[in-house]
Amino acid sequence: MKKKHALCLVLCLIAQLITGQQALDELLKRYNNNDVPYITVQELAISKTNTIILDARESQEYQVSHLKDAIFVGYDNFQLEKITTQIPNKDQNIVVYCSLGIRSEVVANKLKKAGYKNVKNLYGGIFEWKNNEFDVYNSEAKKTDSIHTFSKAWSKWSLKGIKVYSE
């Protein structure tokens, strides 16, 4: 009986993960054009390449939580000129992320149009990163369980950590 219960539990968890993945796929298809290739959080986490990570969220989001060594570039006030000065090598591997991968696609497209050749969008953004239990850091560069979820409505996509939002 215990084996059946354990098997049922495992199957339910797998079904929930698949359903969640499908829902995220649908959300990203609704908002994105898929002009920028995605990279999964797992691929980024194990990447051995020299990759620059850009955070395309707003300052208050970045201060609460961000990926280690991510460079804040913002979204509303994104300035391409700063990036071209900071990252002159147009062949540089760059991953852009936001909360889920919507704002980051816009910023990544601007980089592509400026001639950057190796730009990727982090699939599921920082929410998916934290959902997979990868570390995030606060403004003091210390690990944190807090995750800025942008708003209460968008917070449903953040399944792990302490949700923080500005509404």
Instruction: Kindly list the catalytic residues.
Output: 98
**For residue 146, with 0-12 CB atoms within 10 Å meaning exposed, 13-18 middle and 19 or more buried, which class applies?**
middle
Cβ partners under 8 Å of residue 18, min gap 6: none
- Rounded distance, CA 65 to CA 54, Å? 13
Torsion sign across C-alpha atoms 46, 52, 57, 62: positive
Q: Are 122 and 92 a contacting pair, CB within 8 Å?
A: no
In the sheet that holds 118-122, the strands lie side by side as: 38-39, 118-122, 93-97, 51-55, 71-72
